Amino acid sequence: MNDNEVIALIKEALDEVAPGKSAEVTLANMDMKIRDLAIDSVVTMEMVGVIEERLNTTFPDEDLAQVSKLSDLAKLIRSAS
């Protein structure tokens, strides 16, 4: 999965669980902390759930615990695809 596909997937998942928040997700902002998107942990996990569903996978909890930036999430997505 290339960078644009990963970003599109994150944006799509974020739009589904928190409409209007995905505009900040760009290649230039991949070092942004997920909390800076002004979404709480529940919404974050819902977003991850959407991504897991789209990829037909489940991310290990220990890997998810290490995700704090969009780039961390992108790395996790790439490892599953």
Q: Which domains does the chain have, with CATH numbers?
A: 3-80 (1.10.1200.10)
pLDDT tens digits, one per residue of 22-67 = 988 999 999 999 999 999 999 999 999 999 999 999 999 999 999 9
- Residue linked to tokens 């230039």: 28
**1: Cβ contacts below 8 Å, ≥ 6 apart:** 9, 77, 78, 81
pTM of the model: 0.92
pLDDT at 58: 96
Over range 6-19, report the average pLDDT. 96
